Amino acid sequence: MPNIKNKTGVGQAIDRVEGHLKVMGMAKYSTEFPVKNKVYGQGINSTIAKGEIVSIDTSEAEKLPGVLKVITYKNAEKLNTFDQVPTAISTTTIAPVLQSNKVHYYGEYIGLVVAETFEQAQHAARLVKFEYRKDPNPAIHLDKHEGKAYKPKDMEDYVLGNLEAGLSAADEVVDVTYTTPIEHQHPMELHAIIATWDNGKVMAYATQQMVNDATIAISDTFQIPKKNVRIISAFVGGGFGSKLNTERHVIMAVMAAKMVGKPVQVTVTRHQMFTNTGLRQFNIQKMKVGAKKDGTLTALAHETLSHTSPTQEFQEPCGQVTKMLYKVPNNRVTYRLVPLNIQTPFAMRAPGEATGSFALESAMDEMAWKLKMDPIDFRIKNDTQVDLSEKKPFSSRLLVECLRIGAEKFGWKERSMEPRTKRNGNWLIGYGVSAASRQAPYQKTNAKVILALEGNKVNATVRMDGTDIGTGSYTIIAQTASEYLKIPVEQVTVELGDSEFPVTPGSGGSWGAASYCNAVMAACENAVKTLRENRNIKEEEEVPLAKLLKRNQLKQFEADGSAEPSKEFNDHSVYSFGANFSEVWVDKDTGMYRIKRMVNVGAAGKILNPKTAYGQIIGGLTMGAGMVIAEQSRIEPNFGNFITRSFADYHVPVNLDMANIEVVFLPEDDKIANKMGVKGIGELGITSVAASIANAIFNATGKRMRELPITPEKLISAAVEPNVAS
């Protein structure tokens, strides 16, 4: 059992309150709810990148025992479709599927088989035959279609000052290009849903990060009232952004349930998660940095070229960090998109910051080297307490403290400025640093608390439609209720992930902890306040919760609470900040390297639970290391299909790849951010990790690696920079 007995309040490093449910297999994920008469759907994927379906033969599949329906564009329910193409994608965007014979990318859903068993559905799906009119020239390669690049509709070019003048005034200029590959989110829990349709009402157990937004997407797609859609997502086995929006398998399951009159379960296979549940874009990022000899920045430019699909538009905001992290008078950030016959990209953990910080923080390291200046001193010299892009002061900003304390913890003074000089036998040893930032959003959130008096003990139940995507939401919400009701955590029950509960923004974007817990605090405070006011209890009189209920002659009491950003919040720029330090050993002959040590220092407001927070940072560091070591999704250059399509091909870090890690949280009391002073950390943990490792590799080898992932083959074939002694 978790060590929560008689513990109260936030700040305690208690075990997860739902932990025992998970280890005992009692936590119900989407496909584990017992639903009677359930049948199974299996999506069918296109095998061309662009073209049209000219004929479909379903006869062989329909003859199989157990097959109930084969759904294609010919017999599918008519859905709401886009008014214009491409249309911007969001977490509430409709998701029409099987509406035409057009094929836009390899793997696009072109059919669904519904059968009595999962195996029957999978078998039958392989028997449906499609003939295509294939376009011989699908757009697959970004570099071959740069001429089709356009400015995204919702992302204006950002310009501060005069970039050209700033570059002309510089004593040194760095002008380089960095590339980051397509990556895929691969949570352990596959995307899945059990959907029912009963008299125009939809009930779905679905693995979604944002259940309220899912109800909007489903209701708008089927053009039914939102009140007729209910989503339950009690536990989500990871998402990393892939479960933010409503994907096509959700719509197909709901459609199939209506057509066959039975509950339908659809589970996206691991292979299909490469083609049907989003991805991180391939980004080409051109960086220009200008600085004076004393390290003063004069100019900074960040130009990103990415791809989107032919039907929907998404741009990862890689330049967000470049707009606000340093004091620079001349700044330009631009985005350009090329439509390719690849599925629509979408948010992946720290969208923009994870990839953009690799380019920015690597370029900052390159400039520091050019200036022969310590890279920490260079960053500190250009610190700012004002977000120049928003013309707002930061609510709090402890970046300098993160860098200085991290340097002390890491032993930065042992670093050699000159690359290739620190050695141990055949190993070249390098130290790298990077600054990190991540916006700390806070969104309007609602919660309900239900108090029940049993003898002399009060049990509390907290309800909200927020989700726990493995981050510890159940635990920190329970701790918050414990804190403001002054009862032990063991007397708090948290119920999440039901769209009939009070509305929240869901989990994503590092807004969950702050938004959820402030709403829970408000509900608890409202409960106590109402009970006290009902009996005219004076402010200075302390009355335990059980006695409050007894004085009110109540056995049960409910209260709602709502929290949202204040005017002061909107008048400030609210971010979490951090610093990453990495020690990397590189074999000088083979290019093999090992990440030996990592130190992460973060300033992220009040830490609700150091244990769950530590887990979030470890996860972020691991994903950041994965960006460098191996993660990439590769496309077959002729046909447009992913040739990385399983964990045998798509490599992620394992325990032996990771370093000895030290995580430090700086005390920070930022009440501008919100009443509780809580900020997000889940995405801060991955931001700029890749740059700290790449910078350490340069310090070890004298080789600048500007393309991720950094494989031994790339490293061994790269040349030492011309201004480095070999």
Q: Given this model, what pLDDT does residue 1 score?
A: 33
How far apart are alpha carbons 101 and 361 in whole angstroms? 46
Find the Cα–Cα–Cα–Cα dihedral 10, 16, 18, 21, rounded to 10°.
Answer: -160
CA-to-CA dists, residue 184 to 95, 154, 278, 342, 397, angstroms: 20, 24, 7, 13, 32
Cβ neighbours around 711 below 10 Å, total: 18
Q: Given this model, what pLDDT does residue 4 score?
A: 45
Digit-coded pLDDT (tens) for 6-47 = 456 899 999 999 999 999 999 999 999 999 999 999 999 999
Section 150-154 average pLDDT: 93
Q: Given this model, what pLDDT does residue 154 score?
A: 86
The pLDDT of residue 90 is above 90: yes
The conformational region for residue 605 under phi > 0 = left, psi -120 to 50 = alpha, else beta, is left
How far apart are alpha carbons 255 and 120 in whole angstroms? 19
Work out the mean pLDDT of the chain and round it to a whole number: 97
Classify the C-alpha dihedral 153-154-159-164 as positive or negative.
negative
CA-to-CA dists, residue 268 to 41, 89, 106, 272, 634, angstroms: 10, 21, 16, 6, 20
Name 392's Cβ contacts closer than 8 Å, sequence gap at least 6.
Answer: 386, 571, 572, 573
Q: Which of 611, 685, 120, 13 is nearest to 350 (CA)?
A: 685
Q: What are phi and psi of 459, to 5 degrees?
A: -105, 140
Q: Which of 418, 407, 434 is nearest to 701 (CA)?
A: 418
Give the distance, in angstroms, between the CA of residue 497 and the centroid of all CA atoms in the same chain.
18
Q: Given this model, what pLDDT does residue 725 score?
A: 85
Q: Given this model, what pLDDT does residue 3 score?
A: 44
Q: What is the DSSP letter of 659?
A: -
The pair of three-digit structure tokens given for residue 375, joined into one six-digit string: 């890279």
Q: Given this model, what pLDDT does residue 178 score?
A: 98
Digit-coded pLDDT (tens) for 632-660 = 999 999 999 999 999 999 999 999 999 99
pLDDT band at 156 (very low <50, low <70, confident <90, very high): very high
pLDDT band at 682 (very low <50, low <70, confident <90, very high): very high
How far apart are alpha carbons 223 and 262 in whole angstroms? 20
The pLDDT of residue 152 is above 80: yes
The pLDDT of residue 306 is above 90: yes
Judge if pTM exceeds 0.75. Answer: yes
The residues annotated as belonging to the active site are 683
Residues paired with residue 209 on neighbouring β-strands, in sequence order = none
Digit-coded pLDDT (tens) for 458-507 = 999 999 999 999 999 999 999 999 999 999 999 999 999 999 999 999 99
SS3 148: helix
Looking at 122-131, 146-155, 217-226, 316-325, which range is the least confident one? 146-155
DSSP H/E element including 195: strand 192-198
Domains for the chain: give ranges and CATH numbers.
Answer: 19-24+443-564 (3.30.365.10), 33-136+187-239+243-274 (3.90.1170.50), 283-441+571-717 (3.30.365.10)
Q: What are phi and psi of 278, to 5 degrees?
A: 90, 170
Digit-coded pLDDT (tens) for 386-396 = 999 999 999 99
